Amino acid sequence: MECTPTFLRARRPEQKQQRYDAIRAAARELALERGVRSVSLGDIATAVGVHKSAILRYFETREEIYLSLGAEAWSDWSDAVHAELDGVVDGSPLLLADVLSRTLGERPLLCDLLTQAPLNLERHVSKGAVRSFKVSVLDGVEELAALIGRVVPGIGPERGFEAVAAIACQAASIWQVSHPSSALADLYSEEPELARACPEFVPTIHRFTLVYVTGLLATAD
């Protein structure tokens, strides 16, 4: 019988990198299937084909794996927004609403992690790991803030920061209510008068962004 190669300990640097990538890929895949909340370290280990202890050579906890995916998802979102807005000089609140709501809707893992990070993930890692996540996300927010401040006349980086923070916070909450459990989804289809409690994600974030950015301009000195 042959030895299953995935169960061997990764020793060479390129093997280590492969193992590290495989852990993150499995964690991402499982979270997209069933939500970050429902994925355990054991599930990730099974999907990679290793024992849990092998994962702990690369990450402190399952939470650290998801914080690392969260930092990457922020930077990927930021790249997508840059790609659409970098050339714009006279952007409107409506353009921002179009771009931000669509690019967020295309990133379910980011949206799920927006809630999971402060609520659960940041509470189960070392100070070093949470610091590295916070620095990375703050950099991401500030970069997007500068972009928005430049693209929409009258906003500037300070109000741009408020816009990014408010939209990310709103997306975190709306993602959870717009993706109910299957029992709750059944209830909504049985009683359509309750469906107001389950808004659709992209249109809700679109409308929110339009209203909030319009408000930022209207309250500007």
- Of positions 3, 12, 127, 221, contacts a second copy by CB under 8 A: 127
Q: Is 120 in the site for a second copy (CB under 8 A)?
A: yes
CB of residue 87 to a second copy, shortest distance in Å: 26
Nearer to a second copy, 58 or 208 (CB): 208
Are 102 and 164 in contact, with CB atoms under 8 Å apart?
A: no
**Binding mask 9-38 vs a second copy (x if CB under 8 A, - otherwise)?**
----------------------------x-
Are 211 and 163 in contact, with CB atoms under 8 Å apart?
A: no
- Rg, C-alpha atoms of the chain: 20
Residues 80 and 165: their CA atoms lie apart, in Å, by 17
Say whether 187 sits in a helix, a strand or coil.
helix
Q: What's the token pair of residue 206?
A: 């679109």
H or E, element range at 48? helix 41-48
Nearer to a second copy, 69 or 205 (CB): 205
- Of positions 51, 169, 189, 200, contacts a second copy by CB under 8 A: 169
Q: What's the token pair of residue 53?
A: 């202890």
- Of positions 43, 88, 122, 146, contacts a second copy by CB under 8 A: 122
Q: Is 75 in the site for a second copy (CB under 8 A)?
A: no
Q: What's the token pair of residue 186?
A: 């059944």
Residues 32 and 111: their CA atoms lie apart, in Å, by 11
Residues 144 and 151: their CA atoms lie apart, in Å, by 10
Nearer to a second copy, 48 or 125 (CB): 125
Q: Is 109 in the site for a second copy (CB under 8 A)?
A: no
Q: Is 176 in the site for a second copy (CB under 8 A)?
A: yes
Phi, psi of 62 (to 5 degrees): -60, -35
Q: Is 108 in the site for a second copy (CB under 8 A)?
A: no
Q: Can you give the binding site for a second copy, defined by CB under 8 A?
A: 37, 114-115, 118-120, 122-123, 126-127, 130-131, 134-135, 137-138, 161-162, 165-166, 168-170, 172-174, 176-177, 180-181, 183-184, 186-187, 191, 194, 196-197, 199, 207-208, 210-219
